[in-house]
Amino acid sequence: MTRVAELSPDGRAGATSALMVSALVFGVAHHAWGPVGVVQTALMGLVLGGAYLVLRRKLWILVLAHAMMDTLLIVPLYSAP
C-alpha cells in the first residue's frame, strides 16, 4: 500500500487508491475460489486495509484477525462428519 500511495501527490487520495488497488489484488490472488471468492476476499481486503490505515499501520493486529478468519473458515471443513 505504501508504494502505491507514493505514486499519488495527495496523501489522502494516495491512501484511498492504495487501499482500492491492494484490495483488488488481494481478491484476484484468491481467484481459485471463483468469482464469489474474489469479491468476498476483495471486500475482506478492503476492510482489513482500511483497518490498517485507521490503526496507523499496526500490522500484527491484522495478521491475527486474518488468522482468526482463516481458522473460522477452515475448522468447519475438517470437523464436519
Tens digits of residue pLDDT in 60-74 = 999 999 899 889 988
pLDDT tens digits for range 1-57:
888 888 877 778 888 889 999 999 999 999 999 999 999 999 999 999 999 999 988
Residue 76 has pLDDT above 90, yes or no: no
> DSSP of 23-60, one letter per residue?
HHHHHHHTGGGHHHHHHHHHHHHHHHHHHHHHTTS-HH
Quickly tell me which residue has 468476498 as its cell.
40
**What is the Cα–Cα distance from 14 to 58, expressed in whole angstroms?**
19
Count of residues in the chain: 81
